[in-house]
Amino acid sequence: MNKGLVLKITGGNYTIKDLETNDIIMAKASGKLRYVRVASDKIITVSPKAGDIVNYENNYILSVNERKNSLRRPDCANIDQVVLIFSCKEPDFSFNLLDNFILHIEKEKINIKIVITKIDLLSKNELDDLKNKLSYYEKIGYNVYYTSSKVNNGIDVLKPLFENKISVLSGQTGAGKSSLLNAIDPNYKQETNEISRALGRGKHTTRTTELLEYDNGYIADTPGFSSLDFLDFEIDDLKEGFIDFYKLSSGCRYSDCNHINEPDCNVKNNLDNILKSRYENYLKFYDEIKKNKKY
């Protein structure tokens, strides 16, 4: 039996890199596929996704090794870091979406970096204003980078971040994920959603998650999406996923404080030091999770 890393899935066809020979192999998944849990006896059926280590034979995947972690959107396993790609314009920057994405990744306890794209579209004042607000995220522990793939600004600083890791680029459709990859390494030639000049019509967008080799690691280009729901969230996921509030919560009077209208709440006492939109988004997500629980 051979071991391979799943790079890409297209219509039931798996592109695998053999971990011993480094050969690229096309495989199908066996009908009686199993998820091998190394740590316990529990065995469940699972479909392989990009980032999975699989055992295969004669171009058939027979089992999937235990995952270190896994995201559904984007669909990828064994991720070392998620690089959030947010355009400052086209589409407009949204703090609600940023807090939403961060929360979903924090739930899986995966490292996060934030990359702002298309800074060529902002005036100096607009960019300074955005940087000023986003400095809050740097303060609480997320590195923020400012780039333009179009005029090749801020790209070189990103390159060392990908060494030896499986990194996933995540963010809205049109944020510039594929363009950023092409700027990092022009050999990629990832399709971007420019109107095709040759054909004079149609749009190219990324349809599947695909791991691309880079600097002893992999970068995953992924299809975008515009929002993420909270259907499988508990209130505790919210409270722990807002890492800045979680740190402050040890100072709240009640250990189960929701930071909404409890007395002696250390989060509310610190609102002067918290980005306003961040607390507002917390309240919105709280309401949404509560509402989901009613059904």
Judged by CB under 5 A, the chain residues 48 through 67 that form the site for Zn ion are none
- Give whichever of 113 and 150 is closer to ligand GDP, judged by the CB atom: 150
- Please state the closest distance from residue 175 (CB atom) to Mg ion, in A: 8
- Please state the closest distance from residue 258 (CB atom) to ligand GDP, in A: 35
Judged by CB under 6 A, the chain residues 161 through 190 that form the site for ligand GDP are 173-179
Contact between 222 and Mg ion per CB under 5 A: no
88 contact choice in Zn ion, Mg ion, ligand GDP, none (CB below 5 to 8 Å, kind-dependent): none
- Give whichever of 118 and 278 is closer to ligand GDP, judged by the CB atom: 118
267 contact choice in Mg ion, Zn ion, ligand GDP, none (CB below 5 to 8 Å, kind-dependent): Zn ion
DSSP-derived pairing of the beta strands 60-65 and 24-36: parallel
- Phi, psi angle pair for 92, to nearest 5°: -60, 150
Contact between 178 and Mg ion per CB under 5 A: yes
- Please state the closest distance from residue 92 (CB atom) to ligand GDP, in A: 13
Task: Choose which of 57, 138, 194, 213 interacts with ligand GDP (CB under 6 A).
Answer: 194
Task: Choose which of 102, 257, 274, 275 interacts with Zn ion (CB under 5 A).
Answer: 257
- Give whichever of 164 and 205 is closer to Mg ion, judged by the CB atom: 205
Contact between 149 and ligand GDP per CB under 6 A: yes
Contact between 117 and Mg ion per CB under 5 A: no
The DSSP code sequence of the chain is: -EEEEEEEEETTEEEEEETTT--EEEEEEEEEEEEE-SSSS--B-----TT-EEEEETTEEEEEEPPS-EETTTTEES-SEEEEEEESTTTTP-HHHHHHHHHHHHHTT-EEEEEEE-GGGS-HHHHHHHHHHHHHHHHTT-EEEE-BTTTTBSHHHHGGGGTTSEEEEE--TTSSHHHHHHHH-TTS----SSBPTTTSS-B----S-EEEEETTEEEEE----S----TT--HHHHHHHSHHHHHHGGGSSSTT--SSS-TT-HHHHTGGGS-HHHHHHHHHHHHHHHHHHT-
Task: Choose which of 65, 193, 266, 277 interacts with ligand GDP (CB under 6 A).
Answer: 193
Contact between 126 and ligand GDP per CB under 6 A: no
- Please state the closest distance from residue 193 (CB atom) to Mg ion, in A: 7
How far, in Å, CA of 220 to CA of 208, rounded? Answer: 10
- Give whichever of 147 and 249 is closer to Mg ion, judged by the CB atom: 147
How far, in Å, CA of 155 to CA of 236, rounded? Answer: 37
Applying CB under 6 A, the site for ligand GDP has a residue count of 20
- Please state the closest distance from residue 150 (CB atom) to ligand GDP, in A: 3
- Contact segment (CB under 5 A) with Mg ion among 39-47, 149-157, 177-185, 285-293 equals 177-185
- Please state the closest distance from residue 18 (CB atom) to ligand GDP, in A: 29
How far, in Å, CA of 150 to CA of 288, rounded? Answer: 38
Contact between 265 and Zn ion per CB under 5 A: yes
Q: For tokens 């798996």, name the residue.
A: 14
How far, in Å, CA of 96 to CA of 284, rounded? Answer: 9
Contact footprint for ligand GDP (CB under 6 A): 117-118, 120-121, 148-150, 173-179, 192-194, 205-206, 224
